[in-house]
Structure 1
Amino acid sequence: MTAETAGRFTADGLPVLIGSVPLDNHEQALEWIFAATPEVPLWPQLPSNPMERMLPQFAEGLPCIVEEPADEPGGRIYYDILRPGFEEEMLAFYEDYLAAMEDGAALDNSRFTTSQERARGLYLFAESLARRKKNLTAVKGQITGPFTMLTGIKDRDGRAGYFDDTIRDMVAKGCAMKAAWQTRFLARKSGMPVLMFIDEPALAGLGSSAFISVTTAEIQELVNEVADAVHHQGGLAGIHVCANTDWGILLGSRIDVLSFDAYGFFDRIAPLKKEVNDYLDRGGILAWGGIPTSRREDITAESTQSLVTLWQNQADALVSPGRDKKDLLRQTLITPSCGTGSLSPELARRVLDLTRSVSMTLRDTFLG
């Protein structure tokens, strides 16, 4: 944690969600969220709305991205830096970026805001916070990370934006400022610490042939640019990766919260005991994704007690002479392994209920 964020928030095994919910009604989604995670709620992303899916939700305001109407044949999202007028748009983008870097207040009505059209849940969430203060400890926001944006969107020739220096720089800076704006917005609306998660599912592809030329330094630079922008607005920067990745890269970055799929991939992070404990020694927090979301049979078969036992068994691999399970839980959030947006509402509700009950049982057991 940075000097600006250190000591502002203690995880204490509290339950937190990832973001997406399989509903088409934001008000209902908020009721679910506040019931499951009243201490650290988040705003809902509803992927049933095309504008709230990972790539378009945070694409507005970035002049290197072109969006064709989704309801038209062939409508798509892609990069285009060769079209007429792009250089002028790029100059305006960097002027806005420099203004926001110099004065955070310049973010408030800038191109880096996320509109109600693309994040209605964010605005409804902000409005509801005044009525939900009773148990509030912090609030959580989320943004699609730059690596996922840069590899998920292609140019007209099918080449990922990551491999074009102009696009990569603009998307990295755009994501950083959008994260900064959201951190500032939520902090003003809640008066609470803000956990801003960078959602980076594409990092699960590191090491594959598609990303063979991607270096550790490049990934850390992208992550740190967003994390630094969040820190500059007083927030805590988290990162969420579905499945597996090179966890050492993220443990060595400037993030404050590492969100990982402990249910399916704990065996990939357990060998990094020294790196994990070094990260915790720096004040880092683990968002322990111990509630399954991938397979129906796992969601229905597991119980609160079985998942509590699983956490305790996994924690045995990370405790050290100077850090027992109680200490570990104080630097841990209990989360689903991923978002619930692709599940049925019935299964999603069970995931949310399990997240809360597992968290509360662990807190009762270890924190009294």
Structure 2
Amino acid sequence: MLQTLTPDCLPLLIGSMPMNDHAAASRLIMDYTPSIPLWVQLPVFPEEGMVPQFLPGMPAVVQKDGKMFIDAAGESFDDDLLVFFEAYMAVSEAPDLLPGSRFALGEATGRGVAALLHTLDRIKTPPVAVKGQVTGPVTFGTGVKDQDGRAIFYNETLRDAAVKLLALNARWQIRSLSGPGCPVIIFIDEPALAGFGSSELISISKEEILACLREVVAGIHADGGLAGIHVCANTDWSLVLESGADIVNFDAYAYFDRFILYGDPIRDFLKGGGLLAWGIVPTLEPEAIRRETVDTLYARWQAQFRQVEAFGIAPATLRAQSFITPSCGVGSLSLDLAKRVLGLTRDLSATIRDRL
């Protein structure tokens, strides 16, 4: 059964941190956003990159000359593919088999999850929610290459395998993180959607993208999770708003003027109970991170809030259906700047909740 959540402008983080210690990163998250803790990706470890973290579960993965790719021309490819889909069918019919399967993160790739589980075991009061994340099917499918350097998204069979891998990984995360008994949020991280409609993704249709997103969202919903989609730049927001996701996370700091153009889909999404995660705290430009304060961000957010309210959304409803987030992850920043982003997110959320 799908759990419900009223965020009421609580702070929510994106996932990456510039650290090399998972336990320390998990403690830091609890210092800043204890109401919704999450497992942290540490990009300093190559195996925790957006693509490498989920790649090991795919069929026919080959490592050569320092690169990992799918060898669709290899002699064992058909056998590997058969084994993959047999495993998919088995786990789909018996989800209790997910732990230890190829669809779960392993010891090297899942250290962030393990650190969060250790943290959750030690807290006395359950949080409001717990968050995980999975690389989105478009970002993953265009980031993984075959033996000829062609993105696997353009191979329908491999695209299908990738979508099913990500959907089952999301289900594994929900089951792993459900111990406290609170809602589990899984963000589908889709930075590649910023290229939708450009020459980079010119041959990919909206229908193909929606089909992929909806299958991952359906996987999250199958185990009662809440599905979010995070895009850290501009995109066709009607696509994201119509994906079936429960939460849409957008860069409100740099791209609100583009997002607000989608008035009808935004109104329909909110009136259908969808939640907005306002990425109002900057992460891309160090100067902006240093310059902005809680008061300047509050004024910016308040002006944006009024524009969305003008679509016919009651202020109390809009507040109840909103999170406050950074515009993106902070894994590429210095630790000092990352902590400033976390502090601004926490304190802006507290200010909004106090003043409204």
TM-score of the superposed pair, with normalisation by structure 1: 0.94
Listed one character per residue, the Cα deviations across residues 240-279 of structure 1 (whole Å, up to 9, x for unaligned) are 1111111100101111111111101001111112211100
- The 3-state SS of whatever aligns with 2:59 is coil
Distance 1:146 1:234 in 2: 20
Runs of 4+ in 1 over 3 A off after TM superposition: none
Q: How does 1:301-312 map to 2 (within 5 A)?
A: 301-312=291-302
Distance 2:123 2:264 in 1: 39
Percent of pairs with identical residues: 46
Equivalence for 1:253? 243
- 8 A contact 1:66–1:77 mirrored in 2: yes
Distance 2:169 2:311 in 1: 41
Distance 1:321 1:94 in 2: 45
Are residues 1:313 and 2:303 paired?
yes
> What amino acid sits opposite 2:94 in the alignment?
D
Equivalence for 2:323? 333
Distance 2:117 2:15 in 1: 15
In the TM superposition, residue 135 of structure 1 has moved relative to its aligned partner by 5.9
In the TM superposition, residue 307 of structure 1 has moved relative to its aligned partner by 0.5
Q: How does 1:8-157 map to 2 (within 5 A)?
A: 8-68=4-64, 74-134=65-125, 136-157=127-148
Distance 1:259 1:100 in 2: 30
Are residues 1:5 and 2:32 paired?
no
Distance 2:329 2:10 in 1: 17
> What amino acid sits opposite 1:341 in the alignment?
G
In the TM superposition, residue 321 of structure 1 has moved relative to its aligned partner by 7.0
Equivalence for 1:236? 226
In the TM superposition, residue 87 of structure 1 has moved relative to its aligned partner by 1.3
**Given the superposition, is the C-alpha separation of residues 190 and 59 from structure 1 closer, same or farther in structure 2, using an over 3 Å criterion?**
farther
User: Unaligned stretches of 5+ in structure 1?
Assistant: 69-73
- 8 A contact 2:72–2:147 mirrored in 1: no
Are residues 1:294 and 2:291 paired?
no
- The 3-state SS of whatever aligns with 1:67 is strand
Distance 2:126 2:286 in 1: 32
Equivalence for 1:158? 149
Listed one character per residue, the Cα deviations across residues 116-143 of structure 1 (whole Å, up to 9, x for unaligned) are 2112111011121022243610000001
Distance 1:256 1:222 in 2: 16
Which of 333, 339, 354 does residue 349 from structure 1 map onto?
A: 339
> What amino acid sits opposite 2:131 in the alignment?
K
Equivalence for 1:278? 268
- 8 A contact 1:64–1:167 mirrored in 2: no
**Given the superposition, is the C-alpha separation of residues 321 and 146 from structure 1 closer, same or farther in structure 2, using an over 3 Å criterion?**
closer
- 8 A contact 1:126–1:190 mirrored in 2: no
Distance 1:324 1:352 in 2: 29
Equivalence for 1:182? 173
- 8 A contact 2:100–2:106 mirrored in 1: no
**Given the superposition, is the C-alpha separation of residues 289 and 154 from structure 1 closer, same or farther in structure 2, using an over 3 Å criterion?**
same
**Given the superposition, is the C-alpha separation of residues 168 and 64 from structure 1 closer, same or farther in structure 2, using an over 3 Å criterion?**
farther
Distance 1:67 1:310 in 2: 47
In the TM superposition, residue 11 of structure 1 has moved relative to its aligned partner by 1.2
In the TM superposition, residue 190 of structure 1 has moved relative to its aligned partner by 2.6
In the TM superposition, residue 322 of structure 1 has moved relative to its aligned partner by 4.7
- 8 A contact 1:16–1:334 mirrored in 2: yes
User: Unaligned stretches of 5+ in structure 2?
Assistant: none
In the TM superposition, residue 65 of structure 1 has moved relative to its aligned partner by 3.0
Distance 2:102 2:10 in 1: 34
Which of 352, 359, 364 does residue 354 from structure 2 map onto?
A: 364
Q: Aligned-pair RMSD on alpha carbons?
A: 1.3
Distance 1:254 1:197 in 2: 13
In the TM superposition, residue 357 of structure 1 has moved relative to its aligned partner by 0.2
Equivalence for 1:168? 159
In the TM superposition, residue 153 of structure 1 has moved relative to its aligned partner by 1.8
- The 3-state SS of whatever aligns with 1:142 is strand
Which of 198, 207, 212 does residue 202 from structure 2 map onto?
A: 212
Aligned length: 356
In the TM superposition, residue 209 of structure 1 has moved relative to its aligned partner by 1.0
TM-score of the superposed pair, with normalisation by structure 2: 0.97
In the TM superposition, residue 108 of structure 1 has moved relative to its aligned partner by 2.4
Distance 1:133 1:96 in 2: 37
